[in-house]
Homo-oligomer: A and B are copies of this chain.
């Protein structure tokens, strides 16, 4: 079979008829499929259920290791043993870790709100006083990061993503603008492309010299233990905080993480690792905001995992569940799309997504065709600031939540739709 770009008009029309027939057959099945959401599936959630048994009415001791009653007020920065656990997960010293809340997104939001209202160490006032504040957004990226920036009135500046991370030349140039207050990124198994930043990229992050003295890197390491094959290839990135501290630039970094996709989304924990000055600043903030995080839930997590090894062996079980789903998605993509030459996609070693780059100008149409045939996928443009994909070409596939039995149909619909959209485009 030829590439679409090499077909004659007649060949394209013929191909379109074939696809149209397949599309109508699928549509006639009246399926309701959804690969839009980066959610764990029930089987993944079930792995964490034993955690709920670990603290109960028979528990004899509710004191944590340094003597605080986990049922009562206090300990705004989280119990010591849980801070230690997150220190291992995020690769940061325990004293540089605060555990609070249930999602890194919420932490990101709260950090921005804090910077907006009170300012952060190194700066000269609340960010709200900078009317032309800007946030750098490597894109494609996480739509909800961009949404938070927009909600707080930042101008979102997209930064190109390469295969080893964002374009650092561009970032180094952009941060000479003192209105650029920060950058938000997912450095490992990135959402949606599954890219892990190279050592060189991380080192360049750790050595940025922004004009804004209160510039912050919001390093949302959401997928740090989310490998897909614990017996195969796994990515590893250095600790940005440790590297930046070596350069005397530790105050620039907030490393974020959570157990949202380790235990229970919304029922899990979140943590931030930061420099001593930032931790002191955040503890002060928390002393106003908070009466303390849910220490019972923190202790559940500590008892369940014990340490990083416990987390990794838990994540290995999750990988067993979701790897076949990723495999199915990638197999159908290859079978259906590789010959047509209309799409590229990544083969992630971890994280929650497969990102497909379709023919320019066909992503929106593909989403519409999918919808008509009973398949919900993330909206076109969602992975770009302001929802605007300049090429209208990137779509995000989330394989984890749907039953594996749904995925062949879902991906077939996806591929047929992408091909139809491409041919429509080529035929003009």
Contacts and interface: CB of A to CB of B under 8 A. Distances in A.
Contacts of A148: 288-289
A266 B288 contact: no
A294 B294 contact: yes
A39 B72 contact: yes
Given A52-B57, A57-B53, A116-B128, A71 B264 contact: yes
Contacts of A114: 113
B57 A56 contact: no
A268 B128 CA distance: 33
Interface size class of A (residues with CB under 8 A): 35 or more
Interface string A270-304: 00000000000000000011111111110000000
Given A69-B42, A266-B292, A55 B52 contact: yes
B296 A73 contact: no
Contact of A106 (B69, B70, B289): B289
When all copies of this chain in the complex are counted, the total is: 2
Contacts of A292: 265-266
A260 interface: yes
A46 to B, nearest CB: 9
A105 B291 contact: yes
A385 to B, nearest CB: 15
A109 interface: yes
Nearest to A150: B288
Nearest to A40: B72
B118 A294 contact: no
B52 A264 contact: no
A152 B117 contact: yes
Contacts of A109: 288-290
Contacts of A260: 73, 291
A346 B49 CA distance: 48
B45 A69 contact: yes
A93 to B, nearest CB: 25
11 contacts: A53-B56, A56-B56, A73-B260, A106-B290, A109-B288, A109-B289, A113-B117, A116-B116, A128-B129, A264-B296, A267-B296
A126 interface: yes
Given A71-B264, A117-B153, 17 more contacts: A39-B72, A45-B62, A45-B71, A49-B57, A52-B57, A52-B59, A71-B265, A73-B266, A105-B289, A105-B290, A109-B289, A110-B289, A113-B113, A116-B128, A148-B289, A266-B291, A297-B297
